[in-house]
Each structure stands twice: as C-alpha cells, then as structure tokens.
Amino acid sequence: MFRLIRRKIGENVYRLRVPAKNLCIDATAKVPSSNPGRSGHVYQEGQGFSDKVQQHDIAIVGGGMVGMAFACSLASTPLTKHLNVAIIDSNPALFNGVGIKKDGPPDPRVSTVTPATISFFKDIGAWKYVEEHRHAYFDKMQVWDYTGLGYTRYNARDANKDVLGCVVENRVLHSSLLSCMQSTDFQKTIYPSKLMTLHRNSSSNGVGSTSSASPSFERGHPVKLDLSDGSLCAKLVVGADGSRSRVRELTGFKTIGWNYSQNAIICTVEHSVENQCAWQRFLPAGPIALLPISDNFSNIVWTMNPKEATDRKVMNEDDFLRDVNNALDYGYGPHPKSSTSGSGGIFSWLKPDLTSSVNDCFEVPPKVVKLASERMMFPLSLMHANNYASKHVVLIGDAAHTVHPLAGQGVNLGFGDASSLSRVIAEGIAVGTDIGEVSLLKKYEAERKPENIAMMAVLDGIQKAYSVDFGPLNLLRAAAFHGANYISPLKKSIISYASGEQRLPIFS
C-alpha cells in the first residue's frame, strides 16, 4: 500500500540541484584541545594522509570526551565495531596519551558524572580505567541559598542508590576513554589536524547534482572533509567539536542561545579534613559549588558577574580563600534553620518523612584552607542547535547544546548523545540502512532533543529564579526547597532525574 504516492514528481524532474556545499572557514579554526600530554603510548593504527583520499565510514570531528566516548561506544557494540572510523583532532594527547601524574594536585576541570554516565562507561569498558585514577563518589548533596529560608539535603539512599554521582577530572575521563579504545581492535585513524571545509554531495543520488566545479566524491562516501593537511571522505560526519563547532557552522545548523553575563571561576582547593559531600549554595550573583575530588581536595565552581570574577581571579590567595569560605558559610545571609528544630517554622505544615534524609541537619561545608591550582575563568552561555541531524552530518555533545554548568549536567548530556547515536547507528546497520541516511539520524535527534531541552530548561529556570533578589520570590524558592526536601516522591524524582536515569515526570 505504500508504493506510490502522488504529488507532482514532475516538479522534481527539473529541479535544479544546488551544487555541493562548499563552505570555507577562516584558518583560525579552533579545535577543542586540552592539556597536551607529555609521555605515553602511540597507538595510531593508520597514517592519516597519503595521495589517495582516505575513505571512512564515520568521521568524528573532535576527539574530546564526547567524541571519544562515541568512538568507544561504536567499538564496543558488535554491530558497529567493524566500522572504519576517523577521528580528527589536533590535540596531541590523542597521539601521545594523556600523562597524568597520580599524586599531583587535581586539575580544576572536572565533571560530575551521573549514575547513568557511569553505567554507560561500564558498558563501553571505560570505567575500569577511571577507577585506576583519582575519582570521588559522593552520596550526599546539600543545596541551600543565601536567604536562610530553606535547604535540601539529598542522600543516595532516598532513591535507593549507592551514589549520587562521581566527580572525575576531565583529563581522567579522556585518558580512560583513550585507553579503552586502545584496548580494542577497532579500525580507527587519527588525523592530528583541523577541519577546514566540508563538502557534502547535496543530492542523495549524486547524479546530475554536482557541478563540474564541485569536488569528486568517493563512491559511497558522500562527504568530503578538507583538513589543514589532507582530506578524507566519509559516509557520516559526527560533529563532536564543542560549543564552537566547525561542523555545525560549516553545515549550517542554526542555533539559539544567549549569554548569561555571568562568568564561572573554577579551581581546586584543599581542606584540612576529607570532604564527601557535594555542596551547592545559591548566592545573589550565582551559585557556588564545592565538589569532592578525593582526599582533602575539592573543586570549586563559582558563578558570579564578570567584574567580580575578574577581580577574584587575580586577587591574592588569602583574600580569595576568605571569600570562598564566606560564600559557603555566613556570607550574604544566615544559615537555614535545621528542619528537626522545625517547630513553628513557616513550612512546618510539611511533615517530614522520618525514614529519609529529611532528618539530616543542615551542615556547614568544610573550611577551605589552601588553593591547590590556578584559578580559571569561563563565560557562561546557553546554546542549542535547532537540529542535530542533517544528511550525512550529525552533532553530539556541546556542539549541539551548551548548558549552564549549574548541576554538572553538560557532559552527561553529551555522553547521553554518544550512547544514543551509537545505538541508533547499530539499529540502522541491523536492518541494512545507510548510516548517513537522514531518516536514521533523525531518530537520534528525536530521542535526544526533548531530553536535552528539558534539562536545559530546568537549569536555565533555576538560574533565572536565582538571578532576582525579591522577597516573595525568595519565599517561593524557599518553598521549593522545602518541597524538595520533605516530599519523598518528589525528592526521589529529582534525584533520578539528576542521575540521568529518568525523564522529567511531565515528559514521561
């Protein structure tokens, strides 16, 4: 019954095909790269460049955490491990390995990985490498605000879990994924290069659509990538090249987004005692988070307005530490009252559930005694691509969406994308679909976009709710805190959602 179909095919008969896209970028194309590695293993399997244009099934642009996780996911799936994959990234760490000194101070760039991400890493075989390095599970979290009206303590046992998450340095995640991929016999070629242009054979069948000026496309590999020192062809290009994605720009994906006129300062600090809880306090100018890294180290992510951030980045260590301790304690407002003392409080009508963390008292985070790394500053912004998939090109991770780093969800969304895309590709291969087929890639988009948007909306909403200091709103926020603290099913849902294991209740 599905055979034919009306509509004027005649229209198409003479429709002129647009010549293959030929977009140029300036030579300052920046490919995400992190700290260069010093020593380590060379594990390249194929040399990138030769006279003949190399052909690959999939070209991953950007070998960062999300790009590597996607490659590992392909390598660990029976249906996709035969794929011939190119990874394009000028980061020398991909060649040399990331040298991590285990006893050095932790790098301030850390990620809070959720239980969903941990299980993804276990599936692809990368978690065991993470566990060889520094990482810190935490099972408690305390969130409160400067008004002193409310606080919430989350405990993993509220949702019958062992952990709420794990704080891992980005370089540990990255090197674990590298080690993981190295341990497989996956056919990969690493191009230590930058993407310059991307040509797509704009028509699905190619004939009569490319002008004589367009590049010749390798058979069955309809995308041609010109790199700073060579070129290659692929059936599918995966843009994992971060928030300033070249792939996104070259392919013409539209985005929406805004800057928060907020900067985040991140650094590693040392306590005199061990910290095993994640702390987050909402201050008038933005939240400050204190995340355990291991031993006596913690990571600070402090969001504030750009001027304050610039000042605090350069001020001397003692003043900075005093500001941090102040921000985590009595600065900007009083401590919230502990709920157990709660007779007569304005929210006393909420009956505590005696079995859960409701009885946990408000605690003050451990004092910070020493700065253990340089201070780094990042501007905050929100960006979302209207589409993640088009013909033969797909975006994952920050290339598709950049979120407020409020709850450390950014990279988890990226890992979710990587997992979803590799599963969709495996399902497509199972039924003989062309992996560049847009209808296949749209399945990935349909799966991830609602989840990513929901998370972005939640985080943006929290950010907005805290960007105003206004009496009634403060009360409302406090009520939300109390609700989150005392209503067990709600609390459980929040934990599940933040763990990446459940969609928002309204979406499920």
What residues make contact with other proteins under the rule CB under 8 A?
1-10, 12-17, 78-80, 82, 201, 203-212, 214-222, 427-434, 437-439
Q: Which two tokens stand for residue 395?
A: 């975006």
Q: Which is nearer to other proteins, 213 or 354 (CB)?
A: 213
Are 158 and 499 contacting, i.e. CB atoms less than 8 angstroms apart?
A: no
**Which pairing describes strands 85-88 and 401-402: parallel, antiparallel, or unpaired?**
unpaired
Are 348 and 342 contacting, i.e. CB atoms less than 8 angstroms apart?
A: yes
Q: Which is nearer to other proteins, 63 or 428 (CB)?
A: 428
What's the min distance (Å) between Cβ of 124 and other proteins? Answer: 16
Q: Which of 268, 264, 318, 328 is nearest to 294 (CA)?
A: 268
The type of residue at 66 is: V
The sign of the torsion formed by the CA atoms of 142, 267, 378, 415 equals negative
Q: Which two tokens stand for residue 398?
A: 């920050």
What's the min distance (Å) between Cβ of 424 and other proteins? Answer: 11
Q: Which is nearer to other proteins, 204 or 272 (CB)?
A: 204
Cα(150)–Cα(46) distance, rounded to whole angstroms? 58
CB count within 10 Å of CB 281 equals 22
Give Rg (Cα) of the chain.
25
What's the min distance (Å) between Cβ of 183 and other proteins? Answer: 20
Cα(27)–Cα(32) distance, rounded to whole angstroms? 15
What's the min distance (Å) between Cβ of 438 and other proteins? Answer: 6
Q: Which is nearer to other proteins, 156 or 426 (CB)?
A: 426
Q: Which two tokens stand for residue 137?
A: 């599970």
Q: Which is nearer to other proteins, 392 or 482 (CB)?
A: 392
What's the min distance (Å) between Cβ of 441 and other proteins? Answer: 10
Q: Which is nearer to other proteins, 53 or 382 (CB)?
A: 53
C-alpha of 358 from chain center: 31
Q: Which is nearer to other proteins, 283 or 429 (CB)?
A: 429
Strand segments (E) across 339-444: 368-371, 376-385, 389-390, 393-395, 401-402
What's the min distance (Å) between Cβ of 215 and other proteins? Answer: 8
Cα(467)–Cα(469) distance, rounded to whole angstroms? 7
What's the min distance (Å) between Cβ of 1 and other proteins? Answer: 4
Q: Which is nearer to other proteins, 7 or 351 (CB)?
A: 7
**Ramachandran area for residue 150 (φ above 0: left; ψ -120 to 50: alpha; else beta):** beta
Cα(382)–Cα(256) distance, rounded to whole angstroms? 8
Q: Which two tokens stand for residue 93?
A: 């760490």
What's the min distance (Å) between Cβ of 401 and other proteins? Answer: 23
CB count within 10 Å of CB 256 equals 9
Cα(258)–Cα(242) distance, rounded to whole angstroms? 16
Q: Which is nearer to other proteins, 415 or 444 (CB)?
A: 444
The residues that bridge with 155 in the sheet, in sequence order, are 140
What's the min distance (Å) between Cβ of 52 and other proteins? Answer: 13
Q: Which is nearer to other proteins, 2 or 349 (CB)?
A: 2
What's the min distance (Å) between Cβ of 270 and other proteins? Answer: 49
